[in-house]
Structure 1
Amino acid sequence: MVVILKNRLDVNSLKFKLWTYFVLFAATIMTILWLLQIVFLNTYYKSMKTNEIKKIGDSLVVEYGKDDFEDIIYTISFSKGLIIQILNEDGVPIFPMNTSFDPRPPKFDFMESRKFIDKLEKEDQEKILYTTEDFRLGRPTIVYGAVLQGQNGENLYLYINGLLDPIDSTTFVLKNQLIIVTIISLLLSLGLSFIIASKISKPITQVTNAASVLAKGNYNIVFEKGDYTEIDNLVSTLNYTTKELSKVEELRRELISNVSHDLRTPLTLIKSYAEMIRDISGDNPEKRKSHVNVIIDESDRLTTLVNDILDLSKVEANLSQMNHEEFDVVGTTKDILKRFLILEEKEGFTFILNCDDEVKVCGDEKKIEQVIYNLISNAVNFTGDDKSVFINIKDVGSYIKYEVKDTGKGIPKEELDHIWDRYYMVGKNHKRAVIGTGLGLSIVKNILMAHNSDFGVESYTNQGTIFWFQLKANK
């Protein structure tokens, strides 16, 4: 029970973090609303009211002197609920003079007129804006003042007074509404965030559980797709990876079996012939020589097997540095064919080379030599009863096309795409090579890819197989 609870409350899980972030986001939004609507509402209202009165005062300064100035004052005064007066130097209102219009804004307080003028005269910009307390109403007011020039050059003063209406009742209503909205929002965010977090984390959890099964070596597991493109892409990649791992595992087992066979056979022969030399042919020079030659041949096979495995590992690990240079691929081929002379003499193999006397190409000669040797060795292993291997070097413009053809039974179409894979054996039935180990095609693939060369295979039932690759020609 404790373990289950711990798993459900895993603070590092995606579900928990999504749920937390969603709740924090909702809480942040509600906090901002509370600050704006309750804490900063009075300040915001005062700022807005102050700016409004200042704009009205500045516009009246500009409008002063026009014929309809009195009408403008009345319109603004009644629409905005402001006291707007023009005072003389004694602080007496002289404008507007129309008193027949009723109702009018609150009357001007003559007790404050002198203080107002004194403050205005002290300002360098001839304008003032301040907040004061109206003791008659018991409420704060905003006062705007500006100096105007009369017709006779005397100073006149624009006086604007606006009440800061109390907003306590508005704040109280907003606070009650926000309490309800906050509770509803938090409850909704808790529920909704939990649903969203669960829905998002569910396919990831499924992928994780399936990956755990895969890690235990079960390659039959299938990753299920979810509701999101990113998850589907991940699942497709993992399913492909699982398929490839399954193939590699199968091929690895086959390799172990095949290599074990390749190792066991020469080792058995070496031991057997060594015992024969010790027990039987030690004093017979001819038999001893024959037995020693078998031991040497089988040792060479073991050396070739180990070298091929090491070469494959080095090439795939990019441990070998490529040394591109110009060389004669025909001369290289002829040197390689000398190593197969023993097969011509003892086994009756025939190697037919169709090419010009000299063909210059660019590449790593040692690596290409390994490619050619492996392809010819592969052809020797699988050619037909006529034991013929054809090597064609063709000029195809800026490239040369190198072909190695055997006359064997061919490769099934369904296996053509896999013959370059590591450890893959055609037909799954291993046949110990006359020369080589059967690992050569993997080495060929990696070397040619390092040269950025095109390569491929063409095979037809009972007509043989052609392996080919291209190299850049130097003309």
Structure 2
Amino acid sequence: MDTGYFSDRKRTDTSSIKTTTLLSFVLFAMILVSIIWGLATFFINTYYESMRAKESLSVANSLEVQYREFPDTFEEYAVQSAASNRIYIRLDSAGNTMEFNGTVGLNDIDSFNKDIEIINKKLKRSPNSNVTYNVRDTTTESNSRLLFATRIERPGEISTLYIIAPLYPDLVTTRIIKNMLFYISVIVLIIALLLSFALSHRLASPIENLTRAATELSQGNYDVKFDGASFTETKELARALNQASYEMERSEFYQREIIANVSHDLKTPLTMIRSYAEKIIDISGDNPEKRNADLAVIISETERLNTLVTDMMSVSNLQSNNVELHNETFDLVEAAKVVYESVLVLSSSQGYEINFHPSRPAYVVGDRNKIMQVMSNFVANAIKYSGDNKFIDLRLQKSAKKVAFHCIDHGVGIPSEDQRHVWDRYYRTSANHERYIEGTGLGLSIVKGILNLHGASYGVNSEEGKGSDFWFEMETVRKPSARNMAVSKTETIGEDDGEEG
């Protein structure tokens, strides 16, 4: 088997489902990681600062309440608050100053003293009992601090509580968070890569299998089976391809049958013509009686060959829509009666009993000769396959707006699996491939083409061993007036010049 296609596919194809899915998931993971980093930066810089300020003010209020109501335990409470909240606390009261430094990395008391001078000035100018102020380092604007000062009045004294809270995470915490995010990002990317590879393989594998099987099918391997895996879409596609494979196998089988049938049908009359021509030359040329009998055989075989060629041309013209229809309004019942009368001779010469069951007159619009050809083909087909039971019924059934023609035989019938193929060229059912049955095998294909041109519905109802009912149905029209009976309408379908062949 030629594997060139799949060897080419082994090279990276950026437009394949597998590669596209893989790259899409990796890109999605990278975007997700970027979003995580962006949110982390936002929370560390902006959100952290806001929440830190709120917590520091809450601690300041707690310290104020503690000093006002429980001054004896204030020092212990302040030590814990400074350490746990990473803030600087200072209490000035009656010439006594207490400092509690819980900050990390900002142990320069002189810098805190400068901040206290700033906030103290603002407190003196403020009509309120407390003030809050944010400052940033001149060297690093991202390092901001919250300055808070409040007056605490107690009997006999006025104290001032100062709190300085850094509003940025310390370097160690920031480094830990960034390292953690880095490892999380790497893990997310690896997991995304593995998942995307597995998912892309799962998505692409059924399609690759279908493509591989289709390649084998194109090389003539009709035993290949299409598997759509677990996806609904690929299962539906596999089902359709399996059906196509089955139809292609049958088509190839029938093509071989066509070649065999046509070869036989062409070879037999040609052989007969050659044989009887040689016989005339060698034996019967001087005997008028024998010569005429031999010439009659040659003429008969020539007519048979001409019929085959004519039918083949008719099928070709019907398939290419290169057919001229001479439409007119006519009585289908009367046309069916003409067909019936033309085959009555078989009743006596070959023992067939053909019964005609007409309906009341039913007028239709169409090509009268071609519709009669359809009925004649139905009758000829019934005669060929009626077997030992030589009863044939021709029935017309008229309804309100339609009329149907039925040709019913009681012969060998058609297997149900073959009924959809009886309209194919050169087709004969699996039960009826005997070569002694005469005919071109094109009759029903011609019928199909003619009825399709007329927009008629048609079909076959058959049961193997009990016979078949071939039928067609056309819409009826009103009976035309006597003056219009002779008027016909010509409709050309296909080529402009309407020539055949």
TM interval, shorter chain, is 0.5 to 0.7
1:10 to 2:49 alignment: no
CA deviation profile, 1:283-323 (whole Å, cap 9, x unmatched): 44443333333222212222222333343344445555777
Q: How many residues align?
A: 384
- The match for 2:114 is none
Secondary structure, in 3 states, of the residue corresponding to 2:441?
Answer: coil
In structure 2, the CA distance between the partners of 1:440 and 1:243, relative to structure 1 (3 Å rule), is same
Aligned-residue offset at 1:188: 0.9
Gaps of 5+ in 2: 54-120, 146-164, 479-501
Decide which moves more: 266-275 or 338-347: 338-347
- The match for 1:65 is none
CA RMSD after TM alignment: 4.2
In structure 2, the CA distance between the partners of 1:406 and 1:431, relative to structure 1 (3 Å rule), is farther
Q: Which of 9, 22, 26 is equivalent to 1:23?
A: 26
Amino acid across the alignment from 1:355: P
Partners of 1:448 and 1:455 within 8 A in 2: no
Aligned-residue offset at 1:280: 3.3
Aligned-residue offset at 1:269: 0.8
Partners of 2:419 and 2:460 within 8 A in 1: no
Mapped partners of 2:141, 2:407: distance in 1: 109
Secondary structure, in 3 states, of the residue corresponding to 1:391?
Answer: strand
- The match for 2:81 is none
Mapped partners of 1:418, 1:138: distance in 2: 87
- The match for 2:108 is none
Aligned-residue offset at 1:258: 1.9
TM-score normalised by the chain length of structure 2 = 0.63
Gaps of 5+ in 1: 53-90, 109-131, 143-162
Q: Which of 184, 188, 195 is equivalent to 2:187?
A: 184
- The match for 2:96 is none
Q: Which of 298, 303, 307 is equivalent to 2:306?
A: 303
- The match for 2:247 is 244
Partners of 1:362 and 1:473 within 8 A in 2: yes
Aligned-residue offset at 1:219: 1.6
Aligned-residue offset at 1:402: 0.7
Aligned-residue offset at 1:7: 5.5
Mapped partners of 2:381, 2:446: distance in 1: 12
CA deviation profile, 1:227-252 (whole Å, cap 9, x unmatched): 21111111111122222222222222
Secondary structure, in 3 states, of the residue corresponding to 1:296?
Answer: helix
In structure 2, the CA distance between the partners of 1:413 and 1:5, relative to structure 1 (3 Å rule), is closer
**Within 5 Å, which residues of 2 pair with 1:244-393?**
244-316=247-319, 318=321, 320=323, 326-336=329-339, 340=343, 347=350, 351-355=354-358, 358-384=361-387, 389-393=392-396
1:196 to 2:199 alignment: yes
- The match for 1:61 is none
**Within 5 Å, which residues of 2 pair with 1:229-240?**
229-240=232-243
Mapped partners of 1:134, 1:415: distance in 2: 93
Partners of 1:139 and 1:164 within 8 A in 2: no
Aligned-residue offset at 1:422: 4.4
In structure 2, the CA distance between the partners of 1:97 and 1:438, relative to structure 1 (3 Å rule), is same
Mapped partners of 1:330, 1:45: distance in 2: 94
In structure 2, the CA distance between the partners of 1:296 and 1:184, relative to structure 1 (3 Å rule), is same
Q: Which of 80, 102, 105 is equivalent to 2:131?
A: 105
Mapped partners of 2:122, 2:351: distance in 1: 135
Mapped partners of 1:95, 1:355: distance in 2: 121
In structure 2, the CA distance between the partners of 1:363 and 1:167, relative to structure 1 (3 Å rule), is farther
Aligned-residue offset at 1:184: 0.7
Amino acid across the alignment from 1:97: P
Secondary structure, in 3 states, of the residue corresponding to 2:193?
Answer: helix
CA deviation profile, 1:162-185 (whole Å, cap 9, x unmatched): x99446847645432321122111
TM-score normalised by the chain length of structure 1 = 0.66
1:442 to 2:445 alignment: yes
1:429 to 2:433 alignment: yes
Secondary structure, in 3 states, of the residue corresponding to 1:105?
Answer: strand
Amino acid across the alignment from 2:330: F
